Amino acid sequence: MERIDLMDPDVFVSGVPHDYFTWLRAHDPVAWHDEKDGTGYWLIARFDDVVEVNRDWRRYSNWLRASSLEDPVSEEELRVRRLVFVNQDPKQHTRTRKLVRGAFTPRRLQQLTGQIEAICADLVDDLLAADEVDFVHDISRHLPFRMVARMFGVPEADWDMVLPWVEQVTNNQEPAHNPGLSSRFEVQRKALEYGHELIARARRDGGDGILAELLDARIEREDGTFDQLSDDEIASFILVVVIGGVETTSHTVAEAIGLFADRPDLYDRLTAAGECPPSLVEELVRWGSPAMNFRRTATEDHELGGRTIKAGDKVVMSFSSANRDERHFADPHTFDPWRTPNDHIGFGGGGPHFCVGAQLARLDVRLMLNEILRRVTRFERTGEPQRLRSNAFAGWLRLPVTATGR
Ligand code: HEM
């Protein structure tokens, strides 16, 4: 079959190419793809192979050339990317991750639950007050954004200014969010500057917020001295949480609404149950795989899936493909909100970079769907939806719907 250029974000405007992935899994599960402006890469399509690459951090490095599909354009960009732990390998990764994990403890999540419920209630008020909404633009993106904004102390007066930045940084391939398609590095620089302002404010104001905690976080080194995060590392952490958390969570909720609008029978069964089953959240993440893929760089020559991978080769794990692998999931192209078991790898395949925000994402999505199931009886589409132009995140750019309340 002719290769599809997965580096090209236009490919995803017509949807995730699942037919192509199905073919690759059957015929060419570790497939070499040439790149127009790059080195070329191996695309890993099967579940078991993705898990192997994801776990074997010695052989597949995040540090060497960072973890996103596009190569860093300069050594300076690579240096800045490496400040954040998603672009580090153990032991350095382990150290940074330990320092930031205070931001996501179960106690912290419990403290956030009331705030998340209040945000969900406000958003469903907005949904029901409007005749028609673009569910992504008007509703779903605001839930994770407001959560993250509260976590990092972004003043409410800045929200209207900061949200478009967040979308520009995250979706730099989408002209609706990044007019002029400025380079990612350029738009990230502006966001990092704002991160430094938030840090300065937290340092001045103190309090018990996450930033104050990160400023204080210390871990003991083997020699008994203590290690702390630098301001650059904290600013990069804010950036990666924003990039990792806002778009993915928003798409997961929006994916549900598209399905509910098309399948009123399914929606009725879920509303009859009265609340969102945890299995629905897991199935949405498997089905939609909003974080489609991550990149690694091989550290040595070796064999995978019968192919010889050379040291320095670019290796791309497709979570979208692995989560539809018929060797692993029964009926993988059927959306089943009660699927059990469902050991999808939408949050990662169990390696050291497993999504640090997975529990927060699950909580956000479950509480939002609870509120929706309780108060909305029906969704209907009111216009053509549009997919996001992105080779990193899968989801809707626009999803026009109308909702009927109880
Ligand atoms: C449905 C929502 C989400 C999905 C599908 C998702 C998916 C992922 C995936 C696939 C990875 C890479 C795993 C790997 O390489 O093994 C990841 C990493 C990460 N995610 Fe998420 N994520 C979601 C929500 C969030 C949220 C809400 C946050 C923060 C508030 C977050 C922060 C991060 C961070 C910081 C990393 C890097 C972790 C590391 O390198 O150690 N994510 N996520």
Mean pLDDT of the chain: 95
Q: Which residues pair with 371 in a beta bridge?
A: none
pLDDT of 191: 87
pLDDT category of residue 92 using cuts at 50, 70 and 90:
very high
**C-alpha 335: how far from its chain's center?**
20
Nearest CA to ligand 1 atom 35: 241
- Give φ, ψ of 192 to 5 degrees: -65, -35
C-beta neighbour count of 167 within 10 angstroms: 21
Per-residue pLDDT reduced to its tens digit, 216-228:
888 778 788 888 9
pLDDT of 296: 98
Nearest CA to ligand 1 atom 24: 245
In ligand 1, the atom with minimum distance to the C-alpha of 364 is 27
Q: 30: part of which helix (H) or strand (E)?
A: strand 30-33
Q: Which residues pair with 318 in a beta bridge?
A: 293
Residue 99 in this model has a pLDDT that exceeds 90? no
Residue 189 in this model has a pLDDT that exceeds 90? no
pLDDT of 79: 92
* Best of 145, 289, 355 for a ligand 1 pocket test (most atoms within 8 Å of beta carbon): 355
pTM to 2 decimals? 0.96
* Best of 214, 347, 390 for a ligand 1 pocket test (most atoms within 8 Å of beta carbon): 347
- The response to whether residue 86 sits with its C-beta less than 6 Å from ligand 1 reads yes
- Give φ, ψ of 352 to 5 degrees: -65, -20
Per-residue pLDDT reduced to its tens digit, 227-266:
898 999 999 999 999 999 999 999 999 999 999 999 999 9
Tokens 């969704």 label which residue? 379
pLDDT category of residue 100 using cuts at 50, 70 and 90:
confident
Domains and CATH numbers, the chain: 9-405 (1.10.630.10)
Mean pLDDT lowest for which of 33-42, 183-192, 397-406?
Answer: 183-192
Per-position b or e across 24-34, b if 16+ CB within 10 A of its CB: bbeebbbbebe
CA of 68 to the centre of ligand 1 (A): 13
Q: Locate 37 and state its tokens.
A: 């402006």
Query: Cα–Cα distance between 173 and 162 in angstroms, integer?
Result: 18
CA angle 133, 177, 245 (to 5 degrees): 80
- The response to whether residue 395 sits with its C-beta less than 6 Å from ligand 1 reads no
Tokens 């989408």 label which residue? 174
**C-alpha 34: how far from its chain's center?**
26
Query: Cα–Cα distance between 325 and 331 in angstroms, integer?
Result: 9
pLDDT category of residue 342 using cuts at 50, 70 and 90:
very high
Helices (H), 156-311: 159-170, 184-205, 210-216, 231-262, 264-273, 278-288
Say which residues have a Cβ less than 8 Å from residue 215's Cβ, sequence separation at least 6. Answer: 199, 202, 203, 229, 234
CA of 404 to the centre of ligand 1 (A): 33
Find out whether 321 and 20 touch, Cβ atoms under 8 Å: no
